[in-house]
Chains A and B, each alone.
Chain A
Amino acid sequence: MNWKTWVVIPTWLALTAMPALAEKPVSRGELLANSCFSCHGYDGKAVEDATIPPLADYPASILIEQMKAFRDGERDGTMMPRHAGGYSDEEIELMGQYIGKQEE
């Protein structure tokens, strides 16, 4: 195959696929939650030798409750009260729902 063929096929695919793209490629919740990954592990999953707790295995409701507790001074901590102070209820809920385990 020459380069033209390689170009044409994906072009055709991209054009025909376009109308089907209904869902946004990245949501606000995901982008907010991605902030947590730098310390708590990519996708909130444990990293080898990590000393900062991974988040992915917690139910979303616990993450949301704890973030609010950090923010509102009901739970002490070294770092998290500062970070939590940066977010609204709505943002905390979006983040928690994205990272945490979904419940019934």
Chain B
Amino acid sequence: MSGQAIGLKRRDLLKLIAAGVAVPSAMVASGCVSTGSKTAGHIVVIGGGFGGGSAARYLKRYNPDLAVTMIEPKTSYITCPGSNWVIGGEAKMATITHDYKAVRNNGVTVVHDTVKSVDTTAKTLQLAGGKTLNYDKVVVSPGIDFKWNEIEGATPDIAAKTPHAWKAGDQTLLLRKQLQAMPEDGTFIMVAPPNPFRCPPGPYERASMVAHYMTQYKPGARLIILDQKDEFSKQALFMQGWKENYGERIQWIAKTDGGEAVGIDADKKVVRTTLGSFEGDVINYIPPQKAGQLAQDMGLADKSGFCPINQKTFASKQINDVYVIGDAAIASPMPKSAHSSTSHGKIVAANIVLEMAGEPTIAAKNVNTCYSLIAPDYGISVAAVFDMVDGEIERIEASRGISRMDATRQERRLEANYARGWYRSITDEVWG
């Protein structure tokens, strides 16, 4: 066997790979990525967020012999969860910033680079830095990108003046800086995005954190949410919490009540809606969203802007041996959240490992949990377990629900504590 193989040409080895023989294809690639001496295949995970991080960790857990390479441009990752707490002054950037040391320690090869092109026939990935990687399967977890120019004046460059802060990092700090610099009786305007978008309760948690900051430093200031939809996640709980904590400081205007934005002037800080013009000292324009640019470039998205998948395995419906997880995937009715993405990561990992071992895949249950802080000592949550019924993700009604309305302050305090604990645990699961 080995005697024969030694005489094989590179081309013949590639044929073996095509025939499904377990060859560590990472080794075959030019610019080869180091792997262990014994591998059962090479999985490339594109994206080092909650989805990609979870997929990589659990691929190694379920089959330590797999070579797993993560492609992530950033050397440290700043999470969206917790970024609203930073804006409100309740967390530091350092707390929501994570490096990839532990990911490497868990056996994953981390390459800080971007994908330039993918050849899905030859099953190779070209990286911008010049490397070429062969793969057996690719898990794509690119997060979201924005749909600009959906309303007049909403060009990509306005993010420097009217920050979205919907990808955490410099945008988070810019929005915080603008909030700190606004007059004591100023107006903060948020344009909340239409469905579907990353983190359904996110805009409303952000409004809460901004209001919390205002109660301390901008006593006369107010916040107007111009919404591009008529209802939102945990709405009754947010409304109750806003009233209890902030009185009338937060004004929410539904889409059909005049919230629908038709134009934005980032220089004059004006948002025009079907109701009229709203002038603010700070404008937080959160654009409509689509799957991350890489998913668009790879041809993984459909007309909706997101990626159709087999909801049992997360296999792309567009390209063989490519899987899409996280916010980019159409995993409805699951919300686009960090917790959902982490759940997808485990299930895609398990089913890839099972499939490669010739075992039947599992119709697994997904889970979502989303905590929001209305105030530092006032937390609320939404959660659900999702079944797999005839290959489709379906919410289990008995598992679904939001925190109790009219709960005691003690219960809200407990959930605020759990919100911080959730953050600690899930980021440890992905980056720890």
Contacts and interface: CB of A to CB of B under 8 A. Distances in A.
A is bound by B: yes
Contacts of B426: 38-39
A14 B346 contact: no
B425 A47 contact: yes
B398 A85 contact: yes
Given A10-B24, A38-B426, A52-B425, A82 B384 contact: yes
Contacts of B232: none
Given A7-B28, A82-B384, A12 B1 contact: yes
Contacts of B418: 39, 51-52, 78-79
A21 B414 contact: no
Interface residues of A, number: 45
Nearest to B400: A82
B40 A14 contact: yes
Contacts of A79: 369, 381, 383, 415, 418
A9 B37 contact: yes
A6 B28 CA distance: 9
Interface string B182-212: 0000000000000000000000000000000
Interface residues on B, range: 35 or more
A102 interface: no
Contacts of A7: 5, 13, 23-24, 27-28
Interface in B396-430: 396, 398-401, 403, 411, 414-415, 417-418, 420-422, 424-426, 428-429
B81 to A, nearest CB: 11
Chain B CB within 10 Å, residue with most, of A40, A42, A48: A42
Contacts of B432: 42, 47
B396 A10 contact: no
Interface of B: 1-2, 5-6, 8, 13, 16, 21-24, 27-28, 32, 37-40, 58, 62-63, 65, 339, 342-343, 346-347, 350, 353-354, 357, 359, 362, 364-365, 367, 369, 381, 383-387, 396, 398-401, 403, 411, 414-415, 417-418, 420-422, 424-426, 428-429, 432
9 contacts: A11-B22, A25-B62, A25-B354, A42-B432, A51-B421, A82-B384, A83-B367, A83-B399, A86-B385
Interface of A: 3-15, 18, 21, 24-26, 28, 31-32, 34-35, 37-42, 47-52, 71, 78-79, 82-87, 91
Given A14-B22, A34-B346, 7 more contacts: A4-B8, A8-B2, A31-B350, A38-B426, A41-B429, A49-B421, A71-B398
